[in-house]
Amino acid sequence: MALKVLYAVDVGRADPEKELEYAALSEYLGKGLSPETVAFCRGLVAGTLASAKDIDDRIRELAREWSLWRMAAVDRNVLRMAIYEMLNLEDIPYSVSINEAVELAKKYGTEESGRFVNGILGNLAKGLPPKSEPGAQAETEEEPESGEPGREAGEQVASPLPPPPVPGAR
């Protein structure tokens, strides 16, 4: 539903609110979508449209060989929606956003759309900080009791890993 609305707004210059109402009604009646699913799609569309300039800038940065308007309209809108999810929806892992976007691109795009979308989103994910896994406890600066010989309770442990890359930095 969200992709249909984004596509209509992009290609047909449709009014987002009217298109959302129409899509929500037809999708709801045709497929029995739950009110929660419709609300999620509304938020996804609204957020993607509100962040369109920043998202398009990211796409231009990642797809150096392709101008935004040279891309297939389906690919462009699948990328916009997935990038919004990846950057703003903490409860959705990057891999889920990428997999869903690739499936949408394969279903509605060209023969090459799935690979194209996967490459762009994969490169984006490499430059983003990891998301915390659902249900995981937030990291703390101090560990309660180490239980390891030679280490005292509350002693800070330096990470052996380098800090994650800063998005947009080269």
Give domain limits for the chain. Answer: 1-50, 52-130
The rounded distance, in Å, linking the Cα atoms of 107 and 136 is 34
Name the superfamily (CATH) of residues 52-130. Answer: NusB-like (1.10.940.10)
Q: Could you tell me the two tokens for 119?
A: 């490459």
- Per-residue tokens: 78: 């699948």
- Quick one: how far is CA 73 from the chain centroid? 18
Contact 69, 60 (CB under 8 A): no
The answer to whether 35 and 101 have CB atoms below 8 angstroms apart is no
pLDDT computed for residue 23 by the predictor: 73
pTM score of the predicted model:
0.73
What is the three-class DSSP state of 46?
Answer: helix
Say what the alpha-carbon torsion angle 104, 108, 113, 115 is, to the nearest 10 degrees: 40
Which residues, including other chains, have CB under 8 Å from residue 166's CB and lie 6 or more apart?
none
Q: Would you write out the chain's pLDDT as a tens digit for each of its 170 residues?
A: 889 889 888 998 877 778 877 776 666 556 667 788 888 988 999 999 999 999 999 999 999 888 898 999 999 999 999 999 999 999 999 999 999 999 999 999 999 999 999 999 999 999 999 987 554 444 433 434 444 444 444 444 443 344 444 444 44
